[in-house]
Structure 1
């Protein structure tokens, strides 16, 4: 069974709060958990004049065996989920000296093999 996850999806954690004078959580229900996507090589985009977020590809995640599959254009990359030794926090500085925890990163999705091309069947008749 696979689950389709948008690369920009945030998964909220239940009841995780950080209490400090200058640190606050983004939501009352907890801090979202993000993952790092690590790729080998270079991603070249055709359009350079995009404003705002750019969709790079589709991330499919097979939760049974923790197997992520990333589709970039006409290529497929198979990866694996790796737990980070030390969790990281994504923080954002406000206009003053206060900081807001945007997310916690505890894992990365590692794609270290070469991409495989997606080839469709073409009929012999033209």
Structure 2
């Protein structure tokens, strides 16, 4: 089976795209970087949709790009910026309705429908895959978190 994947060249080079803060822009403005955490994050919510868009923590990186630090609540986690052995693609799956011409539809259906247009929309589910980004690096947080005394982030 062949799965068509389209790459949208306009999404990554758009001037309207939101830019990263200066401390994180040292990695890249347009590059997607994977965050690899060990363990689980627990967020307070009664419904899974309540977690969408919530602030989890604060990520900062030193000047040498060698020590990313993630602060989540009263915990501080140090990590490393690592290249992935194989790049990963971020794909978005979207349904697309298939179009066929009236000449391809059965004669009985064509006589009943009497549409003016030369195309009909068939409700067969066709899937389209769009590649949003290619991930080449990740920030690996493999150490245990250190407790921080003071105000949480």
TM-score by length of 1: 0.67
Structure holding more helix per residue: 2
Of the three residues 27, 43, 46, the one matched with 2:10 is 27
Number of equivalenced pairs: 100
Give 1:93 deviation, angstroms: 1.8
Taking structure 1 as reference, are residues 40 and 59 closer, same or farther at Cα in structure 2, changes over 3 Å only?
A: same
Q: Deviations over 1:18-73 (max 9, x none)?
A: xxx64131625549421111111221112343153222111111241421100001
- Show CA shifts across 1:55-103 (max 9, x none): 2111111241421100001100000011001111101122223321111
Q: Distance in 1 between matches of 2:80 and 2:5?
A: 36
Go from structure 1 to structure 2 and tell me whether the alpha carbon gap of 1:48 and 1:59 turns closer, same or farther (over 3 Å shift).
farther
- Show the counterpart of 1:72: 72
Checking the alignment, whether the CA contact within 8 Å between 1:26 and 1:100 is kept in structure 2 is: no
Q: CA deviation at 1:107?
A: 0.8
| Distance change >3 Å, CA 43–CA 88, structure 1 → 2 | same
**What are the ranges of 5 or more consecutive residues in structure 1 without an aligned counterpart?**
1-20, 121-126
Q: Which has more radius of gyration? A: 2
SS of the counterpart of 2:149? coil
Q: Is the 8 A contact 1:56 1:72 kept in 2?
A: yes
Which of 17, 22, 37 is the matching residue for 2:35? 37
Within 5 Å, which residues of 2 pair with 1:84-99?
84-96=84-96, 97-99=127-129
Counterpart of 1:117 in structure 2 is 147
Name the counterpart of 1:104. Answer: 134
Higher relative contact order (CA 8 A, sep 6+): 2
TM-score by length of 2: 0.57
What is the Cα-based RMSD across aligned positions, in Å? 2.3
